[in-house]
Amino acid sequence: MDYRAQVTNSIMNALNDELSSAVIYEKLERPKDLSMGDLAFPTFVLAKSMHMAPNKIAEDLVNKIDATNYEKVEVKGAYINFFLNKPNFGRDVLTTIIAEGAAYGQNDNGKGGNVPIDMSSPNIAKPMSMGHLRSTVIGNSIAKILTKNGYNPIKDNHLGDWGTQFGKLIVGYKKWGSEEEVRENPIDNLVKYYVRFHKEDQENPELDDEARDWFRKLEDGDEEATYLWKWFREESLKEFNSVYKKLGVGFDTYNGEAFYNDKMDKGINILKEKDLLHESQGASVVDLEKYGLNPALILKSDGATLYITRDIATALYRDKTYNPALNLYVVGSEQTYYFEQLKAVLKEMGVKSAENLHHIPFGLITVNGKKLSTRSGRIILLDEVLDAAIELAGKQINEKNPDLANKDEIARQVGVGAIIFGDLKNERTNNIDFVLEDQLRFEGETGPYVQYSHARAESILRKANNTNYNNSDMLINDANAWETLRILHDFPKVIQSACKDFEPSEIAKYSIRLAKAFNKYYAHSKILVEDQELPARLALVKSVSIVLKEALSLLGVEAPDEM
RNA sequence: GUUACAGUAGCUCAGCUGGAUAGAGCAACGGUCUUCUAAACCGUAGGUCGAGAGUUCGAAUCUCUCCUGUAACACCA
């Protein structure tokens, strides 16, 4: 039921066509305070045309409004405040949620359209750091939100498994490495070679030439180079997958950069056919002046490809394979300019999905204000952070709920939940200066707080003798429950908005609002009391449980029934 | 230097397309477990919304200028 439309109608009927219903609908606002009602109409807009003071307009108008469907309609200053009929509203909301269950809030706006999501994308032979967490977790959540909105997301782990760094890696491995070392501890040792390479090439710049040679060999299909590349890739993936498992994230495809290695000619040919490629200082560029952008470098002066060459191939492939409704790239905000260039180049090429290409940027993670970088050794290992969180969650369980069954698994859900939720709670684009203690908080507005609220709801349902709320009249006469009911009603709207903005934080904030309202209700009203309203109250608790669990699920966070 | 993004309580952040006395969470101080999980709830304290102009009935929110911070800016990704 659209209560905003109902209020709009009430106002329309009291007016003489001074405003269109669309304007009224849009002008209606939600008062901050419950004491000011549920929806409010500010009369300022009418002041000019009616030549009256807003306060006077409000007083006149309220007398013409038919208030029978409301608890009451009141004037306060220039505002007309509508108080909805709480029992009816509550019954509507609860009936809907109980009937729809986890599907509550689902819509079909996406009409099944394919949405490839470029996400996670760790680099082979480098450890996954907190930066990759962001792309992984944001992409994963957006995929779930898209599904809830009727799209068909395709999570693509666009592995960084190609590029000049492999030349460097091979040089490093051959000079200072050994097979045993890599077998024993792949990523640690590969990183060691890589870091050493960067240290030594400052003294011996000819190392860079060697690295370039090796990368050329790799591109040309040289046997040794290819063998090493494959091996490094395989070992790295093993480690990545254990982290993904811990996080509970999966992918539909792992089409890394190498996958597109033999698919780049097509893009280059289109560029040539359309005469978009120009030579500049020995390299090939596309001029983007009409977009207000610098030229995009497509081929290096030695003819080697670049990131963008592969991204063009990727776009062509996705265009052909998926005919995407949306084309998403969850990549750090430092690449915003690059994606503007990519989009412009694709537009010039006439690639269809360029129009629907969205870079979904997220803020940088720093330590003491400094950027992370593998080669300098300034890095936060994702796996270590997750383990620290899981360990702490385990400790908390031993203190608070020592008899809990399945402790390890729940510690994982809570610890990982804290990290994921912490990442998704705030606007994507905020930068984060990493402090471990900040990540390991389980109180206040955190993932565990929301999980705990859900577990409390489930606990009540377990203790209830019968949960036969299906036959309930769903009528609750309790002011303490009102805020919770209102928030439950908002869920479908929040799902749409989060999808439109590609913003998981909207879901996270919503889940906190709901958890907070429910905890308040829980603290002020006794639920398990044998009276007439018990079934309705249980329906409310069940609804809270359903929606909290679903909200967390949209974030990629699990909701244990006990913790 | 150019461009982009940011500047709100001690700290971390919310404040939707401008609207009613600027909100949370941490941290501080105080209160609430013989009764549904205290990872909770309730209260106290804490702010010239970076500065200044402008638009408007009305600005943390829109426009401009300035200050500060971060990032990007051709052979990395």
pLDDT of residue A40: 94
Q: What are the residue ranges of CATH 3.40.50.620 in chain A?
A: 114-274+305-371
pLDDT value, residue A20: 87
How far does Cα A131 stand from its chain's mean position? 14
- Residue-wise DSSP of A289-332: GGGT-PPEEEE-TTS-B-HHHHHHHHHHHHHHHH--S-EEEE--
Tell me: pLDDT of A451 over 90: yes
| Tokens of residue A11, six digits | 């106002």
Average pLDDT of A262-277?
A: 93
Q: Is the pLDDT of residue A472 over 80?
A: no
Nucleotide nearest to A301 (CA to C1'): B75
**pLDDT of residue A517 exceeding 80:** yes
pLDDT in tens, A200-249: 888 888 888 899 889 888 888 899 999 999 999 998 999 999 999 999 99
A120 has a pLDDT exceeding 80: yes
Q: Which SS3 state, helix, strand or coil, does residue A427 take?
A: coil
| A196 alpha carbon, distance to own chain's centre | 36
Q: What is the pLDDT of residues A368-402, one digit of tens each?
A: 878 887 777 778 899 999 999 999 999 999 999 99
Summarize the confidence of residues A404-421 as an average pLDDT.
96
Q: Which nucleotide is nearest to A537 (CA to C1')?
A: B36
Q: What's the confidence (pLDDT) of residue A32?
A: 83
Sequential DSSP letters for A138-151: HHHHHHHHHHHTT-
* Sign of the Cα pseudo-torsion (A290, A294, A296, A299, in order): positive
Residues 6 or more apart whose Cβ sits within 8 Å of residue A554: A141, A144, A145, A148, A495, A498, A504, A507
> CA-to-C1' distance for A32 and B15, Å?
11
Give the pLDDT mean for A474-502: 94
Contacts of A33 (CB under 8 A, 6+ apart): none
Query: Which of residues A465 and A132 earns the better pLDDT score?
Result: A132
Q: Where are the alpha helices (DSSP H) in A323-381?
A: 336-349
Residue A162 pLDDT > 90, yes or no? no
Q: What is the mean pLDDT of chain A?
A: 92
Q: Which CATH number applies to A382-555?
A: 1.10.730.10
Q: Give the contacts of A552 (CB within 8 A, at least 6 positions apart).
A: A417, A421, A447, A450, A451, A454, A511, A558, A559
Q: What percent of chain A has pLDDT over 70?
A: 99
Of A35-44, A135-144, A422-431, A466-475, the one with minimum mean pLDDT is A466-475
Name the pLDDT band for A55 (thresholds 50, 70, 90): very high
Q: How confident is the model at residue A121 (pLDDT cuts 50, 70, 90)?
A: very high
Give me the sheet containing A432-433, strands edge to edge. Answer: A370-371, A365-367, A432-433
Q: What is the nearest nucleotide to A47, using C1' and CA?
A: B57
Using the structure, give the distance in angstroms from the CA atom of A490 to the C1' atom of B8, rounded to a whole number. 27
Q: Which of the four pLDDT bands, split at 50, 70 and 90, describes residue A286?
A: very high
* pLDDT tens, residue by residue, A298-352: 999 988 888 899 999 999 999 999 999 999 999 999 999 999 999 999 999 999 8
pLDDT at A65: 94
pLDDT score of A467 more than 80: no
Q: Which nucleotides of B are covered by protein (CB under 7 A)?
A: 4-6, 12-17, 19-21, 23-27, 35-42, 57-58, 70-77
pLDDT on residue A473: 87
> What confidence score (pLDDT) does residue A430 get?
93
Between CA A46 and C1' B57 the distance (Å) reads 11
> What is the average pLDDT across A46-73?
91
Residue with tokens 């500049």: A280
User: Is A468 a residue whose pLDDT tops 90?
Assistant: no
Rounded distance in angstroms from the CA atom of residue A276 to the C1' atom of nucleotide B77: 24
Say which nucleotide is closest to residue A78, CA to C1' distance. Answer: B20
pLDDT value at A157 more than 80:
yes
pLDDT over threshold 90, residue A163:
no
- Could you write out the DSSP letters of every residue in A109-124? TTTT-EEEEEE--PBT
pLDDT at A26 over 80: yes
**What is the spatial distance, in angstroms and rounded to an integer, between the CA atom of A71 and the C1' atom of B40?**
32
Residue nearest to nucleotide B11 (CA to C1'): A438
The boundaries of every CATH 1.10.730.10 domain in chain A are: 382-555
Residue A17 pLDDT: 83
User: Residue A417: CB partners within 8 Å, gap ≥ 6?
Assistant: A447, A448, A451, A552, A557, A558
Q: How far is CA A202 from CA A196, A197, A208, A258, A523, in A?
A: 10, 9, 9, 28, 64
> Domain A114-274+305-371 - what CATH class?
alpha beta
Query: Alpha helices of A425-472 — where are they, by DSSP H?
Result: 436-439, 447-463
pLDDT band at A500 (very low <50, low <70, confident <90, very high): very high
Nearest nucleotide by C1' from A45 CA?
A: B57
Q: Say yes or no: domain A3-84 is CATH 3.20.20.70.
A: no
From A483, A457, A429, select the one nearest A34 (Cα to Cα). Answer: A483
The rounded percent of chain A whose pLDDT value lies above 90 is: 74
